[in-house]
A and B are shown apart, each in its own frame.
Chain A
Amino acid sequence: MNHTLPKNRSLFDRAIVGPALKAAVLKFDPRLQVRNPVMFVVFVGAIFTTGLWLHALIAGGETSPNFSLAIAGWLWLTLLFANFAEAMAEGRGKAQADTLRQSRRDVQAVKLSSAQRTSKQTTVAASALRKGDYILVSAGETIAGDGDVIEGVAAVDESAITGESAPVIRESGGDRSAVTGGTRVLSDWLVVQISANPGETFLDRMIAMVEGAKRQKTPNEIALNILLTALTIIFLMATATLLPFSIYSVSAVKALDPSSQALPITVTALVALLVCLIPTTIGGLLSAIGIAGMDRMIQANVIAMSGRAVEAAGDVDVLLLDKTGTITLGNRQATNFLPAAGVDIRELADAAQLASLADETPEGRSIVLLANEHYQIGERQAAGLDAEFVAFTAQTRMSGINIGGRQIRKGAVDAIERYLREQQSVLPSDVRANVETIARAGGTPLVVADGKRALGVIQLKDIVKGGMKERFGELRRMGIKTVMITGDNPLTAAAIAAEAGVDDFLAEATPEAKLSLIREYQAGGRLVAMTGDGTNDAPALAQADVAMAMNTGTNAAKEAGNMVDLDSNPTKLIEVVEIGKQLLMTRGALTTFSIANDIAKYFAIIPAAFASTYPVLNKLNIMGLASPESAIISAVIFNALIIVFLIPLALRGVRYRAVAAAQALRSNLLIYGLGGLIVPFIGIKLIDLLLVGLGLV
């Protein structure tokens, strides 16, 4: 049962388009339509013009039946396209949810009467498990629900959730104790205490989120909807009052020239004008943009627990980043050897390598490699040497090797000092000076001693991940402040912060210090984002505006956060911010585009609508549209088709670059504002030419 989550689906995946078309038709349900005020106006207009068509067909109406049929037909298509956009966005989530749902099949669980593995066992369905129950999961079995490991260590395959096929270790205690329902134990066994009732599990919430089943409008979406509704009301008034204006104008014209053929504007033309003017482009794509934003999070393997969190991510102005794993590689590495006075550097390198041969920690490996690379001290095989290895213990806090009568040790400075004292020797002052220099520069010094002689110091350093400095620079240009959180002392922290290029740091961080730092920023009006995985991170995660918990973290951390990173990669917080910004930008860009479109539509429809009253208004027909009918139909067709053309943009989001606000505004305004002015002139003209060419008008 190894189904990994498909990532990077192509935009118009056949598996999504088919069901989306079906869903688009089902969305004609008036109860769904009424939830979107802009599109509901189109809905009513479509019904109305359909009625006018039937009336024209049966009893003869104000326009030819063909004209009202064309308008009615294209209004229905406008709605269908908007429905389709939403269904497409939802469809991508649904496909994801179906995959997830397969891992939720009802499994049997071995329920224990108490926390002991040996206690009484009963077999129950997973759906019967409640919070606080204990279960035993053995190798090959699927874990029946979310919970914490109480006893045991096991390799767990979490690919169903994370898409990552390498198994992870889960064990009781510490920050690796959380297990997720639907994942599979590969080896050994676990006693798990269930932490969520059926229907409330992580998997359930994830399915609900990706499906958009519980989707609520986000605050900014609500505000934008208000603006769009207000515009719709204005245009409704502008078009509704046009009928009395037109009747008055006709009587005024006829008073002057009784032979005039003037007729008032037709209701069909009014409905067409209304639908063209109201912001249908953004109105039709708004919910698709929101769903697609969530979807992009899922593509990035981040599950946001609410749309609100995605939106807040765009607003974040402070990022709290854990040093280890986010800014630096998880482990320190040896970067330099500093010999004591009178000691050859090769001797130090040689001794350091010997002392580290049996040291399998990444630090130890890096010492061996450094000696090899820089001083060509060939890597010796520990097994082939006639030597006794001294392992690191918490008591001695040294490791080393006894070889050919030499006793080589490496360790922290205080440990080696104690060792030298036992040998009736002391640490030379120049070595001590080197130790201090290294510590001040943010490194970790290890001293190497050979018997009574202190040979020198190995400099271990935190290695800042590649590209981070540039990344932080980008964030700074976007107005986002980065703060490094570390348990190191302020001196070390300052050095690493400077090297990584973060704006600030919190040294000797405790969970309390983290929490108060977040509160401090928030009191200053800033929005704070952070990542965390441990139980002690939970209060800070709950306080932060955007809190990304690691999937490997504890259930407490996942509960407290408002998003979970399935890859457990803290660096992804930056990506999350970008997705949030892109979501907001897409909304703004399409709103601007939609409103800018109206100018051209006026030039198409106004001369056409009053052609019989004031033929002179044809001077405003700057596009040279063939006839009043073709002008109105072309505008309506353009209005419908533009929704389809913009679906990819709505789903993918507008192009995002890390630039300052002023620059982002300028380029987006140029593309979507100016583009929105010009594109409809061209589009409407082309459609008009096509209609004429096909002999349809």
Chain B
Amino acid sequence: MISNIIIQIGSFLLVLLACVIPLGRYMAKVYGETPPMQRVFGPIERLIYRLLGIDAKTEMNWKHYAVALLGFNGLGLLLLYGLQRIQAWLPLNPQQLPAISADSAFNTAASFVSNTNWQGYAGETTMSYLTQMLGLTVQNFVSAATGMAVLIGLIRGITRRSSSTIGNFWVDLTRSTLYILLPLALVLSLVLVSQGVVQSFNPSQTVELLQPIVNADGQTISQQTIALGPAASQIAIKQLGTNGGGFFNVNSAHPLENPTPLSNLFELLSIVVIPAALCYTFGIMVGDKRQGWAILATMTIILLGFTALAVGAEQAGNPLYQKLGVDDQASTLQAGGNMEGKETRFGIVNSALWATVTTAASNGSVNSMHDSYTPLGGLAPMVLMQLGEVIFGGVGSGLYGMLIFAIITVFVAGLMVGRTPEYLGKKIEAFEMKMAALIILIPCVTTLLITAIAVSSDAGKATVFNSGAHGFSEVLYAATSAANNNGSAFAGLGANTPFYNTWLGIAMLVSRFWLIIPTLAIAGGLANKKLIPQSAGTLPTHTPLFVGLLIGVVLIVGALTFIPALALGPIVEHLLMSL
């Protein structure tokens, strides 16, 4: 059993690490002076600039950069909202789906613009093909590209000296989409199609069941509706852009969204490949690859720790079954473990691994139902989100979040070596600390507040489907997912209500943009500073010691904030279950 776990997780890690260097190097070039593959992309890039009247040579200071970013995303929010509201009258709607309610449309628009991709709706029965393609898929690309642009702005802030500008938002956005996301998504879509993921404009097909069944009401059911659609193209970017919003309601647990173990591996890899490779890109751009490796090591170690927790808890099975004499242990006859809510084609390890990877990275797609996990198995994905989506995190946003944690770590640790703190040659002073404090503060406070509002209001409590501590976990999970821009759903909570649509929508927008603005402010502040040369008195930020310290800070800040809440949810549930 153990060797099976090691092989499955190990092979995933190996392939991931193998992709890091080439992709990381490629991306570093994309944001450099002369982007690669000019013959292919150069003309398109220049055409975009010409059509939109963008002067690619103009540099922006952080405020201009932020204004451009907010304007672009604000417009995206309005367009996506409008598109959903009028989809009934637009083409490419073979199912004749009606317009979407105002609160759900707001929630979905906020969700996709903020790269959260929380889905209060069921994809195949709500969104027309046009809305999925023109609305959701477009946001899947540009919300990811926005995150990458902010990261590149921050890295420029770190590397530039005494400069007032941090780059051009339009260029960073265009290059992220055109040079990185589009080609990768194209390749991945084709791979997925090869595995059997659908890509079709045909309406849903009705087929005769081979074996008719009788349902609880005594009716014989002999037909099944199979939903179709342009799924592969959206799934590719849903994974690559850490979006996670599935084409079908059950997301990557759906056989037409994730049909085979191989498609599962590719989808799993594509969740973290860009966030992981961006660490290497960061290393190249700051001129010290060890810095990138240190960050990647930090992320990987935390992810592995929580994966071990989730796999262990799920494989251990359910003590309540064991009390009833049900054998759910691994043996030569069965794989064992808690298989409720998991697909047999993925099994315990690949389900639990997906659960932790998708919540570590701010993806949120699922290939199993987290609500059915054991309490500790469900705690792992919840805590990974509560850490602020910095363990790989969203494309771009995960790394800039982690760099903010690095700045906080350097602040405390730097004092302990007897110098005022500096990170990569830049002094960390009051302004940076103020912004970093906001970045740490906002998701924590939003998560706690939304949970508190939900459990104290009748509207919030009305759609909690489970009782006791598990019901509390469901609310906490939803608030955590929205307030950290993950989008993963625990299920068990009826979230498509005006109450949750509105509150979670607000949480997603607040956490996304109130983090981006202070991050850009830090970028601007750091760009302005002089570069302090390294010496023996400088705190090294690439050593195992620093990695350990960074892990400690990330875990302690997350843990200290959420332990009381977790104690009332998964922790007590676990203790009660094993009584």
Q: Give residues 651-693 of A contacting B (CB, 8 Å).
A: 656, 660-662, 664-666, 668-669, 672-673
Q: Give residues 452-487 of B contacting A (CB, 8 Å).
A: 452, 455-456, 461, 467-469, 471-472
A159 CB → nearest B CB, Å: 34
* A616–B441 alpha-carbon span in the complex (Å): 31
B463 CB → nearest A CB, Å: 14
Interface string of A234-252 (1 = CB under 8 A from B): 1101111110111111001
A524 interface contact, C-beta 8 A: yes
* A581–B556 alpha-carbon span in the complex (Å): 26
Contact between B434 and A226, CB atoms less than 8 A apart: yes
Interface string of A572-595 (1 = CB under 8 A from B): 000000001110110111011001
B418 interface contact, C-beta 8 A: yes
Contact between B416 and A585, CB atoms less than 8 A apart: yes
Given contacts A230-B440, A239-B564, A248-B472, contact A317 B416 (CB under 8 A): no
A222 interface contact, C-beta 8 A: yes
Kindly list chain B residues whose C-beta atoms are within 8 Å of the C-beta of A247. Answer: 455-456
* A46–B231 alpha-carbon span in the complex (Å): 60
Given contacts A223-B433, A226-B430, A665-B539, contact A241 B449 (CB under 8 A): yes
Q: Give residues 275-316 of B contacting A (CB, 8 Å).
A: none
B579 CB → nearest A CB, Å: 6
A610 interface contact, C-beta 8 A: yes
Contact between B413 and A665, CB atoms less than 8 A apart: yes
Given contacts A237-B444, A241-B452, contact A616 B418 (CB under 8 A): no
Q: Which of these, A252, A476, A589, contacts B468 with CB under 8 Å?
A: A252
Contact between B420 and A220, CB atoms less than 8 A apart: yes
Q: Which of these, A244, A479, A588, contacts B535 with CB under 8 Å?
A: A479
Given contacts A226-B433, A237-B449, A246-B568, contact A588 B536 (CB under 8 A): no
B408 CB → nearest A CB, Å: 7
B478 CB → nearest A CB, Å: 14
Kindly list chain B residues whose C-beta atoms are within 8 Å of the C-beta of A617. Answer: 567, 571-572, 575
B234 CB → nearest A CB, Å: 36
A255 interface contact, C-beta 8 A: yes
Kindly list chain B residues whose C-beta atoms are within 8 Å of the C-beta of A589. Answer: 415-416
Kindly list chain A residues whose C-beta atoms are within 8 Å of the C-beta of B187. Answer: none
Contact between A317 and B531, CB atoms less than 8 A apart: no
- Count of interface residues, chain B, beta-carbon cutoff 8 Å: 69
Kindly list chain A residues whose C-beta atoms are within 8 Å of the C-beta of B461. Answer: 248
Contact between A525 and B425, CB atoms less than 8 A apart: yes
B543 interface contact, C-beta 8 A: yes
- Count of interface residues, chain A, beta-carbon cutoff 8 Å: 79
B562 interface contact, C-beta 8 A: yes
Interface string of B403-414 (1 = CB under 8 A from A): 000001001111
B425 CB → nearest A CB, Å: 7
Contact between A661 and B565, CB atoms less than 8 A apart: no
Contact between A584 and B536, CB atoms less than 8 A apart: no
A227 interface contact, C-beta 8 A: yes
Kindly list chain A residues whose C-beta atoms are within 8 Å of the C-beta of B539. Answer: 661-662, 665
Q: Give residues 538-579 of B contacting A (CB, 8 Å).
A: 538-540, 543, 545, 549, 552, 556-557, 559-565, 567-568, 571-572, 575-576, 579
Contact between A241 and B451, CB atoms less than 8 A apart: yes
Kindly list chain B residues whose C-beta atoms are within 8 Å of the C-beta of A523. Answer: 530
A15 interface contact, C-beta 8 A: no
Contact between A238 and B565, CB atoms less than 8 A apart: yes
Contact between B437 and A230, CB atoms less than 8 A apart: yes
* A599–B560 alpha-carbon span in the complex (Å): 7
Contact between A245 and B568, CB atoms less than 8 A apart: yes
B325 interface contact, C-beta 8 A: no
Contact between B429 and A219, CB atoms less than 8 A apart: yes
Q: Which of these, B531, B537, B556, contacts A479 with CB under 8 Å?
A: B537
Contact between A241 and B433, CB atoms less than 8 A apart: no
Contact between A233 and B567, CB atoms less than 8 A apart: no
A526 interface contact, C-beta 8 A: yes
Contact between A664 and B575, CB atoms less than 8 A apart: no
Q: Which of these, B415, B471, B472, B537, contacts A480 with CB under 8 Å?
A: B537
* A445–B451 alpha-carbon span in the complex (Å): 85
B533 interface contact, C-beta 8 A: yes
Kindly list chain B residues whose C-beta atoms are within 8 Å of the C-beta of A580. Answer: 418
Q: Which of these, B433, B533, B545, B565, contacts A525 with CB under 8 Å?
A: B533
Q: Which of these, B417, B444, B530, contacts A585 with CB under 8 Å?
A: B417
Interface string of B437-448 (1 = CB under 8 A from A): 110110011001
B528 CB → nearest A CB, Å: 13
Contact between A661 and B549, CB atoms less than 8 A apart: no
30 contacts between A and B (CB under 8 A): A220-B415, A224-B415, A234-B557, A237-B448, A238-B564, A241-B451, A244-B455, A244-B456, A245-B564, A245-B565, A247-B455, A252-B467, A252-B469, A478-B537, A479-B538, A481-B535, A580-B418, A585-B415, A585-B418, A588-B413, A602-B564, A616-B572, A616-B579, A619-B575, A620-B571, A661-B419, A662-B417, A662-B543, A665-B549, A672-B416
Closest 7 pairs (CB-CB, A-B): A479-B537, A588-B415, A581-B418, A479-B535, A230-B437, A588-B416, A479-B536
Residues of A participating in the B interface, judged by any CB pair closer than 8 Å: 219-220, 222-224, 226-227, 229-230, 233-235, 237-242, 244-249, 252-253, 255-256, 273, 277, 311, 314-315, 317, 476-481, 523-526, 580-582, 584-585, 587-589, 591-592, 595-596, 598-599, 602, 606, 609-610, 613-614, 616-617, 619-620, 656, 660-662, 664-666, 668-669, 672-673
Not counting A223-B433, A480-B535, A664-B416, a sample of 10 additional A-B residue pairs whose C-beta atoms are within 8 angstroms of each other reads: A224-B415, A227-B433, A234-B557, A235-B561, A317-B535, A525-B161, A525-B530, A585-B416, A585-B418, A610-B567
